[in-house]
Chains A and B, each alone.
Chain A
Amino acid sequence: MSALPSTSMFVDVRVNGERYEREVPARRLLVHFLRDDLDLTGTHIGCDTGSCGACTVHLDGVPVKSCSVLAVQAHGASITTVEGLAGDEQTPLQRAFSEHHALQCGYCTPGMIMSATALLEQNPTPTEDEVKVALQGNICRCTGYWNIVEAVMAAGKGSA
């Protein structure tokens, strides 16, 4: 990538295993790049301050808020969005969300699931407190979180 400042950059990223090469304005946030340029609209926007976590994706395997990353910063990175989780089958966590009624309107759900997926990858059987800490950066306005924590615990136990 050029070391000279420019208002527009060539970006080469892998998203959900697929390679995308695009010229992107430097000011465009990763979340808008995913939603508007790549039509991956499962990643949502709920605030303007990096507070709500609805836009959480995995950047090189790590959960980040895609509203607080420039698309150009993702150059060369590998990204997973909620669309990239389920193959022919849903993941145990996705099933657990449904079985434990961990979603209502479903708007925060992709971000929640991305945060929880990252947790379970590092820590397959988290304690309740570990789950709460892992999801603290994700706001849900429908459920009060109780069923979400329950679902992640269940998926962790593999009982989902």
Chain B
Amino acid sequence: MTTVETEGTTTLQRGFVGQNVPRKEDRRLVEGQGQFVDDVKRHGMGYLHFVRSPYPHARILSIDVSAALELPGVYGTLTGDEVAILTDPFFQIAAEPGGSMKDYALSVGKVRYIGEPVAAVVAESRELARDAAELVMVDYEPLDVVVDARKSLEPGAPVLHEECGGNITYQGVWEWGDVDQAFAEADHVVKITDLHFDRFNSTPLELDGALVEYNRGTGQWTITTNNQFPGFAVIMMAPAMRVGTDKLRFVTQDIGGGFGNKITSHPQLVACCLLARKLNRPVQWTEWRTDFHQSMSHGNERWFLDTEVAVRADGTMTGFRTRVVDDAGAYLRYEPLGGVIWSQVAPGMYGWRNIRLDFTQAVTNKAPCSPNRGYSRMQHLWFTERIVDIVAHELGFDRVELRRKNYVQPEQMPYETPNGCVYDSGDYPASLDLVLDLIGYDTIEQRREEAASRGKLLGFGIGSTLDSGTNNFGQSQLVNPDLQFSGNNEVATVKLDIFGEIVVTLGTTPQGQSHETTAAQVVADILGCDVDAVHVRAGHDSYWNSHAGFSGTYASQFAVTGLGAVKGATEMLADQMKTLASMVFQCPKEAIELADGFARIADNPEAALPFMALGAIPNANNAGFPIDPPPMNARFVYRPPFDVPDKERKFGNLTLTYSMQIHACVVEVDPETGVYEIVDYAAVDDCGVRINPKIVEGQVMGATAHAIGAAMFESFTYDDEGNLLTPNFYDYHVPHTLDMPPLTTAAIETPSPFTPLGTKGMGEGGGGGIHCICAALQDALRATGSPIVTDSHNPYHRVFEMLRHPEHARAKVEVTGRSAT
């Protein structure tokens, strides 16, 4: 484990910040005392089980719940017909044609993917609820199925949503610079017929769930749930349920992993709410693994068709153009934002100035796509990394030199991309050198020979990515000009209680990102007290007055928005504490310092008030003050500096910070079976100032593991009939201890000039592992007919296919240009 740091000034003097402070969350979690949603019980609660569609596309002719209702112990049922009466369709982010889509909590009239909830049953036990669900008789008329997004765009393809007039949900041409000029001046043009980014997600170990209570007196629902973005859920649910947002109280303590996959559970939550009201009892729902695989938040599957890359003789890459088909699955739950978020990283880490993407998003009879770690950018970054490696492969450039030459250079920072995004800071070439050093790049050729002597094909690959953090929600206006979202925000409150406890409340819903710990580190440094003296409330409660419209934990932003809010609120409290101390000591506020748990006169440390005294005065001992003592209670809303993007040019800064990751790996392929092993792996990460390096490294490791899984094992694969072939952990293999390679990590810190603490969001990573494994396989297979790697997911049998038939992949790439013509 190497850690290298470059010089970097931070806006905060380092005390606890920058230290590997042990996590506050850990004590309860290692003792099994965490509180996850399924752990919460209420008197008389009923268990909900969804009746799910066995068909990928069918008309619902009738639903008969009578047999289920007759089963003793069954409390009640809910069907799509009731939902259509009791609620309005969910608000759609999309403009036309996707905007016309009608999406409800349960299927209304039609089912569009296997596993879609068509009815719900509530009973006195989990087992009984499932028994009853089996007794719900649904009569279906099967319809033709389309599972390939390219086919769903063809004339005559089965139409999923008639109201959309076809299967297209969003279409837009994204073009910057002068693409035609770039190609006219190119010495070489590399053409790739099709590249495919596969469908998978992060499969958090804890499944979705909720415990919903309805208060008949106040008409309010309390929704204890592991939804990771209540701010989004509430704006989806409240209008659909025809109630005000304050009628929906969201409560969470611990969440067992989210990775974006727990953002779009709002349809199930609505079903729970309706049943809690209908049955007048608490309703508990916990999803099962197969339910999740079949229905929840798949990552966007994406095709890049007829790609062309313009390259100069010296290896300068001047532009690319491609036709993108994005597969949204059966419904738009957060989409088509995936159709725009990639543009935060349009040129990847490279200096491309001329870019054209003709982007079409289509629906298919598969599970709806929603955010997944690296949301939408990962697909695009895989594409940019693929074309860089294919250009090198086909034109004979050195992959390392080609990157070094085409990377955005440190002296260009902050760098404005062709579409107006601003890369805040970073030193990509230095990071590349570091990762090459970690993996022992200079020994690769020796190792290749040594492996060959064992009958193995060795390959080396690089994946260089950006993790763009802190969304400018104004980007949503690029897919729907009528939307009134822009900017971003997060809230924190900090108070000093009567006995001097410092209590911090966050608006976020962490799923392992250690917010309780890092928030306490920031607070302790500002208030000059011990990190253990800072109590950060676990979890989230929308009644705590510490949330805003964008509150939640998603899109790599806590280190900027969350800690920005914590810093702001703590500085307000510090000012109140100094003011109060100066009132007590009859001295100017400037003379007061906060240190060692005291407010004291800087040059007379004897004159010191413990925090307890400061807390007691406004709370319980406030008589006799000529003016009101400050309340020792501060609420701060952090708002990142954003403008609304230019909708015509699709131009503007879509995100605040850009963490950078460069991953490199070495694989060994068994040429007889296609089985391969990652024998060496290194990752360099730059997320600016690290509040807690060990926690940062933990996120890097997690993102790496997800990428390795996606590259080698994890895929939501469907057959032509719309069956998900990997509906459980038997067939959807999640890597375990024995599957993980040796890993070396290192960090570089180039503080962000744009954020309160010099931090950058970094939780998601950019799928670097997928990209470097694809590259390493392509490198390894040079020896066997030089196929190019055109899929993000390469299980053994696909590698075997490349080994046996390299010509199939060769046929997908062509080089033209002056020399050729």
A residues sitting closer than 8 Å to B (CB atoms) are 25, 27-28, 32, 35-36, 39-49, 51-52, 54, 81-83, 85-86, 90, 94, 97-99, 101, 103-110, 113, 131-133, 135-149
Contact = CB atoms under 8 A, between A and B. Distances in A.
Contacts of B203: 141
Nearest to B694: A101
A46 B288 contact: no
User: Which of A43, A86, A149 has its CB near the most chain B CB atoms (within 10 A)?
Assistant: A86
12 contacts: A41-B38, A46-B289, A83-B31, A90-B27, A94-B31, A109-B29, A133-B737, A141-B203, A141-B702, A141-B734, A143-B698, A145-B737
A103 B29 contact: yes
Given A106-B256, A108-B256, 11 more contacts: A41-B39, A51-B729, A52-B734, A97-B30, A105-B204, A105-B257, A105-B511, A106-B34, A141-B257, A144-B705, A149-B737
A40 B113 CA distance: 36
A33 B83 CA distance: 34
A98 to B, nearest CB: 4
Interface of B: 20, 22-23, 25-36, 38-39, 41, 126-127, 202-207, 254-259, 286, 288-290, 511-514, 694-695, 697-699, 701-702, 704-706, 708, 728-730, 734, 736-738, 740, 743
Contact of A109 (B30, B38, B697): B30
Nearest to B697: A101
Contact of B205 (A25, A139, A148): A139
B703 to A, nearest CB: 8
A129 to B, nearest CB: 8
B89 to A, nearest CB: 31
Contact of B740 (A81, A83, A98, A144): A144
B255 A101 contact: no
List the 5 closest A-B pairs by CB distance, nearest first.
A42-B32, A106-B29, A107-B256, A104-B512, A144-B705
A12 to B, nearest CB: 22
A70 B708 CA distance: 35
B345 to A, nearest CB: 23
Given A105-B204, A107-B205, A107-B256, A90 B31 contact: yes
A126 to B, nearest CB: 12
B695 A101 contact: yes
Given A105-B206, A107-B257, A139-B729, A98 B701 contact: no
Contact of B698 (A27, A47, A131, A147): A147
B46 to A, nearest CB: 13
B32 A51 contact: no
A97 to B, nearest CB: 5
B701 A90 contact: no
B71 to A, nearest CB: 15
A149 B736 CA distance: 11
A44 B698 contact: no
Contacts of A135: 736-737
A131 B288 contact: no
A85 B27 CA distance: 13
A106 B743 CA distance: 22
A85 to B, nearest CB: 7
Given A46-B205, A48-B289, A146 B512 contact: no
B729 A145 contact: no
